[in-house]
Amino acid sequence: MLFTSGKGRHYVLGYDLGDEVSQISYMAMDADMPETLSILAGAELYNIPTILCKREDANQWFYGKEAIRHIEDEDGICVDHIVDAARKGNRIKVGDNDYDPATLLTLFVKRTLSLLSMELSLEYVDAIMFTTDSLDDRMIQVLKVVSEGLDLKKAKVFYQSHEESFYNYMMYQSEDMLAHNVIAFDYNLGPMKEYQMSFNHATTPVVVTIDTTVHNEMEIPGRKLPDDISTRQEAMSLMDIDFLKICEDACKDKIVGTVFLLGDGYHENWTKKSLDYLCRTRRVFQGNNLFSKGASIAARERVETKPEDAKIKYVYLGEDKLKANLGMHLQKQGEMCYHALMDAGVNWFDASTTLEAILDEGNRIDIQVVPLTGDKSKTVSVILDGLEERPPRTTRILMHMSMIAATTVQVVVKDLGFGELFKSSDKIWTEEFSIVD
């Protein structure tokens, strides 16, 4: 753990960046659980509208609730759906000018981080984890641009999906909650997103997977319930029936121990029949800050120092994760042993390693691939065609391995020669292979 004596506690942040609303959770390095920033002191108002407003007659920008107020007063230009525009790479027209959406997103994030000044100083933030509902290659590039524009001197910046933030949150819950499937229904009157977390207790470590389903039938036109009371009641009754069917399908043929109802879509208490069904044999929790809390937990996990021999009991294998262990057998101090190169469970875009070694003989490097998905293990051979013939153990190589896609490994090998005996040929070999058959 990190502390600065006499200068303040150290923290990590979890930033849930959404197209409609965003949230910030923060966690001290010595705390048990995160807290979520409220935009109103003394209240549990966590949602910051992801919206900007530019004054028509000046280069003055507002964000969040204040932006909405100026838009309603008709003295500013509304700038919304910034995350969606950034993900698609569409420039945003504001008055007579058009802007890079990543630049506007950076402005929004900067302004929202200033809200933390009443709780902590950014000077003592060691890491920020951004989490979004969809983390594709384009979104990663956008978040990199945003993080570079924040001018953070010390904080490390990471990115992950809502699925992984859900996983991180659950890892801080009691062990009995991890015995059976866990489901989260995220709903804000738009399409409902279902996250179903499963545990394979037959593996070591326990493999955790999350299946995501989008239920478009739950979307309410305009994302607003009717004003007329009778029409409103009828609409909510139909919502309850549709949601009950979703719940029954989600729990069919499996044991579900815990359910989370996330988002502001449940505020009208329309979940009569569906909630009655869910509560029969399950624990049900309601809230809307799970993802930002999970992200802050993940941020601390990334920067917290752990013993090298600490055993990992659970490993999450999501769409963004490396799903196999990669390693090779090397001779160390006269004995052959297994040397891990890349471990399953890390984000594929973060997975890389560099190794310097001496070849026993020949021109072949064997890499073991051990999937955690139940597929067969295999050995992949990288052949260094054209390598100069030398006596055994007189060829030193530098090998860099990284993932260029979720299932594709790239290996780059450079001949370093062997001191004054054999000069380097400066040859470089590049090979790619799939971790799945």
What confidence tens digit (pLDDT) does each residue in 269-314 have?
Answer: 999 999 999 999 999 999 999 999 999 999 999 998 765 555 689 9
How does residue 326 score in pLDDT terms, banded at 50, 70 and 90? very high
Q: Which two tokens stand for residue 369?
A: 């691939």
Residue 328 pLDDT more than 50? yes
Using the 8-state DSSP alphabet, how is residue 109 labeled? H
197-236 burial, b for 16+ CB within 10 Å, e for fewer?
bebbeeeeeebbbbebeebeebebeeeebeeeeeeeeebb
Residue 6 pLDDT more than 60? no
Higher pLDDT among residues 4 and 269, named by residue: 269
Q: Sketch out the chain's domains with CATH numbers.
A: 11-161 (3.30.420.40), 166-289 (3.30.420.40), 324-434 (2.60.34.10)
Average pLDDT over residues 26-39: 94
Residue 189 pLDDT more than 60? yes
User: What does the DSSP assignment read for 126-137?
Assistant: EEEEEEES---H
Question: What pLDDT, on the 0 to 100 scale, is given for residue 96?
Answer: 87
Instruction: Please name which of 373, 319, 326 lies closest in space to residue 351, comparing C-alpha atoms.
Output: 326
Average pLDDT over residues 1-16: 68
Give yes or no for a contact between 287 and 259, defined as CB atoms under 8 angstroms apart: no
Question: What pLDDT, on the 0 to 100 scale, is given for residue 270?
Answer: 97
Tens of pLDDT, residues 197-255: 999 998 888 999 999 999 999 999 999 999 999 999 999 999 999 999 999 999 999 99
Least confident segment among 17-26, 41-50, 126-135, 222-231: 41-50
DSSP run (H or E) holding 298: helix 290-303
Average pLDDT over residues 28-53: 92
Residue 363 pLDDT more than 70? yes
In the chain, the amino acid numbered 254 is K
User: What does the DSSP assignment read for 113-161?
Assistant: HGGGGGT--GGGEEEEEEEES---HHHHHHHHHHHHHTT-SS-EEEEEE
Cis amide linkage into residue 205, ω under 30° from 0:
yes
Tracing tokens 């100026």 back to the chain, one arrives at 70
Average pLDDT over residues 165-174: 96
Integer angstrom CA distances of residue 409 from 276, 324, 327, 351: 48, 11, 12, 10
Instruction: Residue count of the chain, please give it.
Output: 437
Give the β-pairing of 324-332 and 335-342: antiparallel
Question: What pLDDT, on the 0 to 100 scale, is given for residue 349?
Answer: 86
What's the mean pLDDT when you consider all of the chain?
92
Beta partners for 428?
Answer: 414
Q: Kindly calculate the radius of gyration of the chain based on its CA atoms and give it in whole angstroms.
A: 26
Average pLDDT over residues 145-155: 89
Listed in sequence order, the residues at least 6 apart from 139 whose beta carbon sits closer than 8 Å to its beta carbon are: 86, 87, 132, 159
Give yes or no for a contact between 178 and 154, defined as CB atoms under 8 angstroms apart: no
Distance CA 267, CA 373 (A): 39
Higher pLDDT among residues 288 and 151, named by residue: 288
Distance CA 287, CA 16 (A): 14
Question: What pLDDT, on the 0 to 100 scale, is given for residue 309?
Answer: 52
Q: Which two tokens stand for residue 343?
A: 């471990």
3-state SS assignment for residue 216: helix
Question: What pLDDT, on the 0 to 100 scale, is given for residue 151?
Answer: 81
Higher pLDDT among residues 218 and 333, named by residue: 218
Phi/psi for 236 (5° steps) reads -70, -35
Residue 374 pLDDT more than 80? no
Tens of pLDDT, residues 76-93: 999 999 999 999 999 999
